Amino acid sequence: MKTLFDRTSINNIQLKNRFVRGATWENMADSEGGVTDRLWKVYEELAEGQVGLIITSYAFILKEEQPNSGMLGIYSDSLIADYGRLTDMIHSYGSSVIVQLVYGGSQTLYKPEQRVIWGPSAVPEIGTGVVPKEMNKEEIKILVGAFGDAAFRAQQAGFDGVEIHASHGYLLGQWLSPLHNCRQDEYGGSIENRSRLLVEVYEEIRRRVGPDYGVLIKINCQDFVPGGTEFADVLYVCKELARHGMDAIEISGGILAAKELCAFRPNINCPEKEAYFEPYAAQIASETSIPVILTGGLRTMQVMERILEQTPIQYFGMARPLLAEPGLIKRWQKGDSMPSKCRYCNKCRTPEGNVCILNRD
């Protein structure tokens, strides 16, 4: 019988349990996207707290594109040494760690007058209204290369793998969406075409890191906005990525304009509200042969045990519960199975750093 504390592996990533820290922007990196003492402490608490696989905050891959303040960067070789120290520390606790790679795009507070913002098509982002520059073939090549370079740096820095961020309305997710991708060339139209860039990004990363390195993707099951990406297309994309050799898929959902149907839904206070993407993740897990991580609204061991028993979903990602309690997994492991203390109030984001209200001084 499977348990939440089984030791497993994803490609060569060793996992001492099935709990994953879903990527969480901490707003604590320095202005260059580098590791600070505060960030070090965040990761040490997670590792000390026995999280099996830690996924970092999203990290920007092109220096000029940093989509948000205080996020990690992985755009330059000069960042490798500090990451090397961070990954050594995390490994010393027996946890694995991968870095999440992102290009933000037009779901942004920046304006096109302030910087170049790339998108699949020059159409307004449904939430922000920002009209990006439609990427030409040369820019596509630069982007694909930047993902490959970033993954290679991650490998040199001792990360156990990388996760491609294609969810929540950022650039790579937009290419799948008929709402944001209106291209007439081989990257637009059919889902085969709309997913072409994602496959190219995956292939380039794989070419740079080799077959034995963990490459994961986080993808929306649906965008939950009219005209956005729908589940049938996502299922197709997941099967394609599995066929190409992707090691695992993390299922999330919703872009920011989906509001209450976004990735971090509020007020998860009973088992019925938990695990809101479970049906989609279960279907993807049963129709692809690769491991699936379910993320969003997980709160109790009981719900995760039930999902593990009844579906082919193998891993469980949490973001807010681990902001509230970095030691949650250790507590559960010790036998205290009380639910996460997170109130799912979504007050974790502050200009001074993303810290749970339960942990503010």
Ligand X SMILES: Cc1cc2nc3c(=O)[nH]c(=O)nc-3n(C[C@H](O)[C@H](O)[C@H](O)COP(=O)(O)O)c2cc1C
Give the 3-state secondary structure of residue 307: helix
Six-digit token pair at 172?
Answer: 């790579």
Q: How far is the CB of 252 from ligand X (least distance, A)?
A: 5
Q: How far is the CB of 71 from ligand X (least distance, A)?
A: 7
Q: How far is the CB of 319 from ligand X (least distance, A)?
A: 4
- For ligand X, give the closer residue by CB, 165 or 206: 165
- For ligand X, give the closer residue by CB, 135 or 298: 298
- For ligand X, give the closer residue by CB, 204 or 250: 250
- For ligand X, give the closer residue by CB, 201 or 263: 263
Q: Summarize as ranges the residues that interact with ligand X (CB under 6 A).
A: 22-25, 57-58, 100, 165, 167-168, 218, 252, 263-264, 295-298, 318-321, 348-349, 354
Amino acid at residue number 156: Q
- For ligand X, give the closer residue by CB, 121 or 228: 228
- For ligand X, give the closer residue by CB, 197 or 293: 293
Residue whose pair of structure tokens reads 């500090």 in the numeric block: 82
DSSP assignment string, 231-264: HHHHHHHHHHHHHHT--EEEEE---GGGGGGSSS
Name the nearest CA neighbour of 254 among 173, 143, 352: 173
Question: What span, in angstroms and rounded, lies between the C-alpha atoms of 199 and 193?
Answer: 10
- For ligand X, give the closer residue by CB, 221 or 319: 319
DSSP character for 308? H
- For ligand X, give the closer residue by CB, 187 or 284: 284
Sign of CA dihedral 285, 200, 53, 232: negative
Q: How far is the CB of 260 from ligand X (least distance, A)?
A: 13
Question: What span, in angstroms and rounded, lies between the C-alpha atoms of 361 and 290?
Answer: 42
Distance from the Cα of residue 55 to its chain's centroid: 7
Six-digit token pair at 7?
Answer: 């030791």
Q: How far is the CB of 10 from ligand X (least distance, A)?
A: 17
> Which residues have a Cβ under 8 Å from the Cβ of 260 and sit 6 or more positions away?
266
Q: How far is the CB of 19 from ligand X (least distance, A)?
A: 11
CB atoms within 10 A of CB 305: 15
Q: How far is the CB of 318 from ligand X (least distance, A)?
A: 4
Q: How far is the CB of 154 from ligand X (least distance, A)?
A: 15
Question: What span, in angstroms and rounded, lies between the C-alpha atoms of 143 and 243?
Answer: 23
Question: What span, in angstroms and rounded, lies between the C-alpha atoms of 266 and 258?
Answer: 13
Residue whose pair of structure tokens reads 């938990």 in the numeric block: 274
